[in-house]
């Protein structure tokens, strides 16, 4: 028995070691342009660290540099590129490099930056400082900017390892987390659009050509041209498939037009899915990861309300979210566009939640959802101290502060949502004869019954609902 146990234990240890050995070590690179403050740079790199960790990589270091622009051929200066190559074991040089002469202002600013760096004393704790143990330890380099195909090619040539930009990281995360067919189609479209200008010649230096059409005359297409055409055809095919799914979603939305819908919107990892689970009792995925939810989930609030209120969980937002992804996920974001009320969920314990709120509002404005009534939810109050809580209540007097772990907070939010919907409702007495089949059930399912009384002819219900729904019931009764 002991031998069997030892074999099982050793097998688990081997598996664990093999998993750990497959984890890639990543070095992050941040570029500070004249328009970027030090605080913005640090915040962006911190967020990139979380993105990279979500992707499954281990961040072993980071490097920053002040530059007049991140549009240069290798993004970094020659010295910094050489230092970065120490992490990766690359040469630090690009064979064929096109030099771009900077403007006088840019050149002067760059000279001042390089002079400051030369005069500064090396600090072993600084993120740019490389220890001897870390030389050659990085498997991948990730740049906190959107890079052109030539920049990616130049960096990979100099560093000898794969290079990803911020958009590439986000698309990889989306690809892993997409579960429904619609989400997978949306991510694949965004990935192919991203890859289109980055397709490269493979084998034969790009001289391989297929035979020309109609008898084989003519030069035909190069391998690269063929790959690009296949890419365009595939994007068109996926868009058509997504459009057919979009029609199905549109039909479902039209069926829900008479329903009250609350859409949860906000920055990624703000706690939308946790709130969704707490308010609806549904088993939606909750994880402390960026973009854990990509698929729209719609559930009824539980315990069920009268009238019934649906809650919709939407994809989270992030700074510098690629426009192609916003376009691809427009059908998902349309759930917010068709909502009766938007709940802006923010992580109140995150010092940068104000800028995150601006990002959310900006993306919603892109899809035309900026005019929908909204309520701000300051989530994760359990992570705040009394002084922080008091200050936020004073700053955001109209917001609702909650913790999804506190039942009293959830009950208060539920009451506030129902109060909002009941503001435009009216109270009216409806007499329903016993002969009116099905109407009583219709009333109870769609309206809030305040009181009821019975006599030998039927039941009188005092209801609270919208004028439209009351008119619909009266129309049904007149036909009975």
**What is the spatial distance between Cα 66 and Cα 143, in angstroms, rounded to a whole number?**
14
**What is the spatial distance between Cα 298 and Cα 276, in angstroms, rounded to a whole number?**
9
Q: Are both 136 and 115 inside the same structural domain?
A: yes
Q: What is the pLDDT of residues 313-372, one digit of tens each?
A: 877 778 777 666 666 566 567 677 788 899 999 999 988 899 889 988 888 887 778 888
In a domain, 217, yes or no: no
pLDDT over 80 (residue 64): yes
CA-based R_g, the chain, Å? 29
pLDDT over 70 (residue 256): no
For the stretch 126-151, what's the b/e string if a residue is b when 16 or more beta carbons lie within 10 angstroms of its beta carbon? Answer: eeeebeeeeeebbbbbbbbbebeeeb
Q: What is the pLDDT of residue 330?
A: 63
Q: What is the pLDDT of residues 126-147, one digit of tens each?
A: 555 555 455 658 899 999 998 9
Q: What is the pLDDT of residue 112?
A: 58
Q: Are both 113 and 28 inside the same structural domain?
A: yes
> Closest by alpha carbon to 136, among 93, 85, 94?
85
In a domain, 434, yes or no: yes
**Which domain-ending residue is among 374, 396, 422?**
422
In a domain, 157, yes or no: yes
Measured from the Cβ of residue 51, the count of other Cβ atoms closer than 10 Å reads: 23
Domains of the chain: total: 4
Q: Are both 406 and 447 inside the same structural domain?
A: no
Q: Are both 93 and 150 inside the same structural domain?
A: yes
Q: Would you give the DSSP letter of residue 103?
A: P
Q: What is the pLDDT of residue 461?
A: 93
In a domain, 242, yes or no: yes
Q: Are both 315 and 390 inside the same structural domain?
A: yes
> Closest by alpha carbon to 344, among 352, 354, 334?
354
Kindly list the strands in the beta sheet with 341-347, ordered across the sheet, starting from the edge strand earlier in the chain.
297-300, 309-313, 260-266, 341-347, 374-379, 400-401
> Closest by alpha carbon to 372, among 252, 261, 247, 216?
261
Mean pLDDT in residue range 379-391: 95
Of 16-20, 159-163, 243-247, 449-453, least confident by mean pLDDT is 16-20
What percent of the chain is helix, strand and coil (3-state, nearest 5)? 50, 15, 35
In a domain, 353, yes or no: yes
In a domain, 3, yes or no: no
Q: What is the pLDDT of residues 334-345, one digit of tens each?
A: 677 788 899 999
131: domain CATH number? 3.40.50.11060
Structural domain including 460 reads 426-479
**Alpha helices (H) in 210-329, listed in sequence order:** 213-216, 223-255, 272-280, 323-328
Q: Are both 36 and 72 inside the same structural domain?
A: yes
Q: Would you give the DSSP letter of residue 203?
A: S
Q: What is the pLDDT of residues 189-223, one digit of tens each?
A: 888 988 888 876 443 344 444 555 555 545 556 88
**What is the spatial distance between Cα 94 and Cα 159, in angstroms, rounded to a whole number?**
9
Q: Are both 411 and 459 inside the same structural domain?
A: no
């Amino acid at each position: 028995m002991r031998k069997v146990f030892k074999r099982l234990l050793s097998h688990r240890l081997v598996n664990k070691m093999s998993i750990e050995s497959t984890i890639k070590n990543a070095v992050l690179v941040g570029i500070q342009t004249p328009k970027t403050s030090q605080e913005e740079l640090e915040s962006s790199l911190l967020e990139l660290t979380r993105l990279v960790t979500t992707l499954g990589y281990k961040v072993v270091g980071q490097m920053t540099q002040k530059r007049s622009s991140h549009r240069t051929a290798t993004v970094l200066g020659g010295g910094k590129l050489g230092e970065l190559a120490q992490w990766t074991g690359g040469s630090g040089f690009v064979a064929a490099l096109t030099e771009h002469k900077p403007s006088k202002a840019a050149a002067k600013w760059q000279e001042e930056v390089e002079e400051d760096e030369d005069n500064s004393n090396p600090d072993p704790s600084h993120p740019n400082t490389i220890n001897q143990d870390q030389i050659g330890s990085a498997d991948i380099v990730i740049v906190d900017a959107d890079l052109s195909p030539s920049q990616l090619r130049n960096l990979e040539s100099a560093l000898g390892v794969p290079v990803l930009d911020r958009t590439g990281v986000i698309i990889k995360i989306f690809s892993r987390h997409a579960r429904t067919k619609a989400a997978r189609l949306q991510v694949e479209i965004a990935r192919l659009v991203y890859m289109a200008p980055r397709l490269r010649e493979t084998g034969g230096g790009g001289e391989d050509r297929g035979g020309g059409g109609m008898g084989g005359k003519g030069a035909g297409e190069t391998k690269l041209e063929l790959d690009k055409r296949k890419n365009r055809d595939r994007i068109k095919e996926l868009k058509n498939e997504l459009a057919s799914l979009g029609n199905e979603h549109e039909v479902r939305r039209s069926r829900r037009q008479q329903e009250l819908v609350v859409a949860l919107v906000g920055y990624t990892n703000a706690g939308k899915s946790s709130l969704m689970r707490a308010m609806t009792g549904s088993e939606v995925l909750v994880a402390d990861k960026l973009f854990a939810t990509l698929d729209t989930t719609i559930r009824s609030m539980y315990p069920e309300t009268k009238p019934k209120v649906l809650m919709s969980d939407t994809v989270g937002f992030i700074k510098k979210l690629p426009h192609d992804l916003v376009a691809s996920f427009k059908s998902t974001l349309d759930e917010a566009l068709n909502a009766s009320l938007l709940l802006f969920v923010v992580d109140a314990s995150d010092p940068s939640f104000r800028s995150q709120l601006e990002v959310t509002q900006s993306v919603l404005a892109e899809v035309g959802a900026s005019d929908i009534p909204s309520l701000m939810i300051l989530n994760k109050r359990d992570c705040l101290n009394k002084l922080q809580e008091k200050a936020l209540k004073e700053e955001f007097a109209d917001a609702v502060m909650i913790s999804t772990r506190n039942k009293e907070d959830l009950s208060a939010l539920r009451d506030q949502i129902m109060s909002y919907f009941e503001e435009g409702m009216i109270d009216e007495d409806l007499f329903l004869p016993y002969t009116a089949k099905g109407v009583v059930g219709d009333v109870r399912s769609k309206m809030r019954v305040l009181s009821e009384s019975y006599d030998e002819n039927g039941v009188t219900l005092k209801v609270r609902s919208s004028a439209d729904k009351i008119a619909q019931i009266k129309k049904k009764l007149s036909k009975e």
